[in-house]
Amino acid sequence: MAHTLHALAGSGRSAPRPEPSASNLDSDAVAQTRIELAACFQAAARHGFDEGICNHFSALLPGRDDLFLVNPYGYAFSEITAERLLICDLDGHVLAGQGQPEATAFFIHARLHRARPALRAAFHTHMPHATALSMLEGAPLLWAGQTALKFYGRIAVDEDYNGLALDAAEGDRIAAALGTADVLFLKNHGVMVTGPDIAQAWDDLYYLERAAQVQLKAMASGRALKPVAPDVAQRTCEQMRAGDAQSARAHLDSLLRTLRGPSQPLAQ
């Protein structure tokens, strides 16, 4: 299902690899971004959000709109470490790391970051419950559970599945489908979750899957769902969003502590 980027003909990557001398790719800020993004891969694997060696997360480098971290082709989420992540430019050159990004990872993430540089992190998964909702006719989330209300008014839906994203045009189409939303349900495919930082992207990814899971459980009962009134849904979303940045940061810090274990506490 996955494709190596360099194997694609006509990918527009014939230019020589640029020298990264103008950018510090080993700064403390970049190192911390690597650690946080790798932690999200590890946690996603633990929660069952991964699918073989497919799916991909990316994050723009601190202070840069033209360089991003992404997982290399051929590795499961559980194998991703801070050191294993690649640094790529928006033209597909690997400036740091061994290997190449998976083809759809490059074309989706590079085009999305180019179109909306304020989105510093972008996570694409086929996590089972959210993907199951992408396979149904109509709106994916039905605003019947409190967790779902975190996403009220923040979701776009790409109704037109168009095969694998193996060129820039398909990446641009997906970016356009996201529009000004934060979360994109790709019908018949999966989801794209974005954020202004890694912590908020991870927080949304986690709670989106939880919202999808409980909705599917409720739907499986065969009884009618009881939706929340739109004005209450909007007010609840605003209440949640008011504290999202702080809550997401605490969520990611908790994740980092869990992954490191009690013998390796976070630096103070």
pLDDT for res 164: 87
Instruction: Give this prediction's pTM.
Output: 0.90
pLDDT for res 24: 79
How do the domains of the chain map onto residue ranges?
26-258
Q: Are 8 and 166 in contact (CB under 8 A)?
A: yes
In sequence order, the 6+-apart residues with CB closer than 8 A to the CB of 201 are 40, 57, 59, 120, 121, 122, 123, 193, 194, 195
The CA distance from 49 to 76, in Å, is: 11
pLDDT for res 18: 55
Supply φ then ψ for residue 208, to 5 degrees. -65, -45
Amino acid identity, position 189: H
Q: Where does 26-258 sit in CATH, by number?
A: 3.40.225.10
Q: What is the pLDDT of residues 101-159, one digit of tens each?
A: 999 999 999 999 999 999 999 999 999 999 999 999 999 999 999 999 999 999 999 99
The pair of structure tokens assigned to 241 is 């969003």
Low-confidence ranges of the chain (pLDDT < 50): 7-15, 21-22, 264-268
The CA distance from 15 to 18, in Å, is: 8
pLDDT for res 10: 46
Q: What is the pLDDT of residues 147-180, one digit of tens each?
A: 999 999 999 999 999 888 888 999 999 999 999 9
The pair of structure tokens assigned to 162 is 């168009």
